[in-house]
Amino acid sequence: MKLFLLLCTLAIASAGNKIKYDNYKVFRITPQTQEQQTFLAGLEDKGMRFWDGPGPVGKHSDLMFAPDQQGDLLDYIRSSGMIVEDFVHDVQALMDNEAVSYQISPKLTWDAYHPYETIVMWLEEQCADKEGVSLETLGQSYLGEDIQMVVIEKNPSNPWIWVDADIHAREWITNTIATYLIDK
């Protein structure tokens, strides 16, 4: 069987000045009317960052607030009748806790998130150790990172299967699924 797996691994943020999110908070906001939902959706156009949403009336949206946005704007949202719940008290603390397990190593597991470098090292190891498995470069991303493709070829007469991963940054689970398939 000829099995094509495309792992379009786009670059993880380049090293440089890291953005800190000290005292940023995420609130879970549920609009109760269409007018509230329209206001909430308009915040995205004004540069507010939604972690989830904006959703329809009655469905919550998770919205991140910088420290300077937690005053008048949040007060207005609360006074308008929307349901507001604290969701993440300190975004930077959450990120710092996740960073503890984020270390580069050739060991890949499926119970943790791994950096780009770890995934590439694991792919190279798999291709070196397994017969009929090769790693090819299809081109480069906008940021200059190689776009990798793993080809697994056991029986060339069988149909192809194509799986892609990491096309967009929020699709973090796709590389876990693709590497799991490669491993099996």
Same domain, yes or no: 83 and 125 = no
CA distances from 60 to 24, 28, 32, 41, 83 (A): 19, 6, 10, 12, 9
Please list, in sequence order, all residues whose beta carbon lies within 8 angstroms of the beta carbon of residue 118, skipping any fewer than 6 positions away. 104, 105, 106, 107, 108
Per-residue confidence of the chain (184 residues) as pLDDT tens digits? 222 222 222 223 333 467 889 999 999 999 999 999 999 999 988 889 999 989 899 999 999 999 988 989 989 999 999 999 999 999 998 888 765 555 555 577 887 777 778 888 888 888 888 888 888 888 998 888 888 888 888 777 887 888 888 777 777 788 888 888 888 8
Q: Is residue 98 one of the residues assigned to a domain?
A: no
Which of 42, 67, 89 is at the close of a domain?
89
Q: Is residue 94 one of the residues assigned to a domain?
A: no
Same domain, yes or no: 123 and 160 = yes
Same domain, yes or no: 65 and 119 = no
Same domain, yes or no: 154 and 131 = yes
Same domain, yes or no: 48 and 8 = no
- pLDDT at position 30 is 96
Same domain, yes or no: 111 and 73 = no
- pLDDT at position 2 is 29
Q: How far apart are CA 16 and CA 31, in angstroms?
A: 38
Residue 62's domain is classified under what CATH number?
3.30.70.340
Structurally, the chain folds into a number of domains equal to 2
Range of the domain at 174: 2-15+103-183
- pLDDT at position 35 is 96
Same domain, yes or no: 6 and 43 = no
How much is the pTM? 0.50
